[in-house]
């Protein structure tokens, strides 16, 4: 059996009394498109941070490509949740993409010309050729986000972590970026971990989902997890899930995010 691209064994994460998840066992395989869903504060970004080696688990072990997670792993590509670059960031769009491509693996192998060609190719793939030489701080949120995607794809990572990468993109670019991420996954063999609030833009690509809510989790195909029964039980309230023409509509989600552990906090 091949080594999982990323795995968690008996993983738990708590902050004080708040339990985000407990006893999570997970193996994400090379070439698997794995979506992470759940309400605000359910621990999706924290899971990314665990895999990036930035957030220690409360218990259990997390591995990437068979090795315990470590900061700065070259096995990982990361499209962070959107934050804007400061206005005067001294980088052009192509420099940012080049950072993803830089260094040991590619710099030597490609040479200067090849390096530039590859950066141009990536810029084109995310529809950023027209602003290749613009300072990143002057670009719109969506334009910056497309560059982050190009940067993360540049290194051909074993594991591609995407934290709401489609936010602030228009429909056309949502489709272009999600299809590129899908190609990186199903053609180039990266494992993709894709955090999102909305599964429909990527539903045709998703192999399995992890759904986090109320301190609980479920793992399975979208058809197994995204059901009225499963989500109602996780939210502890009636939630209706409608599958229609390949889309999934969830109706009646409770507004407030209930955190497992809040009861104890209140009692205390
Ligand atoms: N270092 C920390 N110390 C204390 N609490 C934290 C820390 N990091 C995250 N949390 C809390 O853990 C919870 C989960 O945060 P996280 O960012 O993982 O949620 P999320 O599912 O990504 O949410 P969203 O959908 O809003 O992005 C939040 O309530 C957050 O305040």
Residue keyed to tokens 């665990």: 50
> Residue 260: what pLDDT?
46
Does 45 contact ligand 1 (Cβ within 6 A)? yes
> Residue 12: what pLDDT?
96
Contacts of 209 (CB under 8 A, 6+ apart): 34, 35, 36, 37, 199, 219, 220, 221, 222, 225, 226
The residue among 45, 57, 32, 62 whose CA lies nearest residue 219 is 32
Name the residue with the closest Cα to ligand 1, atom 30: 41
> Residue 58: what pLDDT?
97
Q: What is the rounded CA–CA span in Å between residue 118 and residue 123? A: 9
CA distances from 184 to 77, 173, 178, 249 (A): 11, 16, 10, 27
**Count of helices and strands (H, E) across the chain:** 8, 12
Q: What is the rounded CA–CA span in Å between residue 48 and residue 139? A: 26
The residue among 78, 30, 34 whose CA lies nearest residue 53 is 78
Which pTM value belongs to this model?
A: 0.90
Name the residue with the closest Cα to ligand 1, atom 18: 43
Write out pLDDT tens, residues 247-261: 999 998 886 444 444
The arithmetic mean of pLDDT across residues 208-215, rounded, is: 94
Atom of ligand 1 nearest to the CA of 48: 18
Q: What is the rounded CA–CA span in Å between residue 144 and residue 129? A: 13
Token digits for 192? 């993709």
User: ipTM, 2 decimals?
Assistant: 0.96
Name the residue with the closest Cα to ligand 1, atom 1: 15
Q: What is the mean pLDDT of the chain?
A: 89
For residue 124, report the distance from its CA to the centre of ligand 1, in Å. 35
Does 174 contact ligand 1 (Cβ within 6 A)? no
For residue 40, report the distance from its CA to the centre of ligand 1, in Å. 8
Residue keyed to tokens 């950072």: 99
Name the residue with the closest Cα to ligand 1, atom 3: 15
> Residue 15: what pLDDT?
94
Write out pLDDT tens, residues 34-86: 999 999 999 999 999 999 999 999 999 999 999 999 998 889 999 988 778 88
For residue 114, report the distance from its CA to the centre of ligand 1, in Å. 41
Q: What is the rounded CA–CA span in Å between residue 253 and residue 235? A: 8
The residue among 175, 184, 116, 174 whose CA lies nearest residue 145 is 174
Give Dmax (Cα) for the chain. Answer: 65
Residue 53's CB: how many other CB atoms inside 10 A?
A: 16
Write out pLDDT tens, residues 139-189: 998 899 999 999 999 989 999 999 999 988 899 999 999 999 999 999 999
pLDDT grade for 131, boundaries at 50, 70 and 90: very high
**8 A C-beta contact, residue 60 and residue 12:** yes
Q: What is the rounded CA–CA span in Å between residue 216 and residue 235? A: 9
The residue among 81, 90, 116, 89 whose CA lies nearest residue 101 is 116
Alpha helix (H) ranges present in the chain?
A: 44-51, 93-101, 106-125, 141-154, 171-186, 222-225, 228-235, 262-267
> Residue 259: what pLDDT?
47
């Amino acid at each position: 059996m091949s080594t999982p691209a990323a795995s968690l064994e008996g993983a738990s994460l708590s902050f004080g009394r708040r339990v985000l998840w407990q006893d999570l066992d997970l193996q994400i395989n090379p070439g698997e498109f794995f979506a992470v869903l759940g309400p605000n504060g359910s621990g999706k970004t924290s899971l990314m941070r665990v895999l990036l080696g930035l957030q220690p688990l409360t218990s259990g072990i997390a591995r990437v490509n068979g090795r315990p997670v470590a900061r700065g792993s070259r096995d990982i590509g990361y499209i962070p949740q959107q934050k804007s670059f400061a206005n005067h960031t001294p980088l052009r769009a192509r420099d940012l993409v080049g950072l993803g491509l830089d260094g040991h693996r590619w710099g030597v192998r490609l040479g200067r010309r090849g390096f530039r060609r590859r950066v141009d190719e990536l810029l084109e793939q995310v529809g950023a050729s027209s602003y290749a030489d613009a300072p990143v701080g002057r670009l719109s949120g969506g334009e910056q986000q497309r560059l982050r995607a190009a940067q993360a794809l540049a290194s051909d990572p074993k594991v591609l972590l995407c934290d709401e990468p489609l936010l602030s993109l228009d429909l056309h670019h949502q489709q272009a970026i999600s299809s590129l991420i899908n190609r990186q996954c199903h053609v180039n063999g990266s494992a993709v971990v894709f955090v999102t609030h909305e599964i429909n833009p990527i539903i045709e690509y998703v192999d399995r989902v992890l759904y986090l809510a109320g301190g609980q989790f479920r793992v399975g195909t979208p058809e197994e997890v995204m059901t009225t029964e499963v989500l109602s039980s996780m939210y502890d309230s009636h939630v209706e899930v409608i599958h229609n023409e390949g889309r999934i509509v969830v109706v009646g989600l409770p507004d407030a995010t209930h955190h497992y552990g809040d009861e104890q906090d209140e009692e205390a």
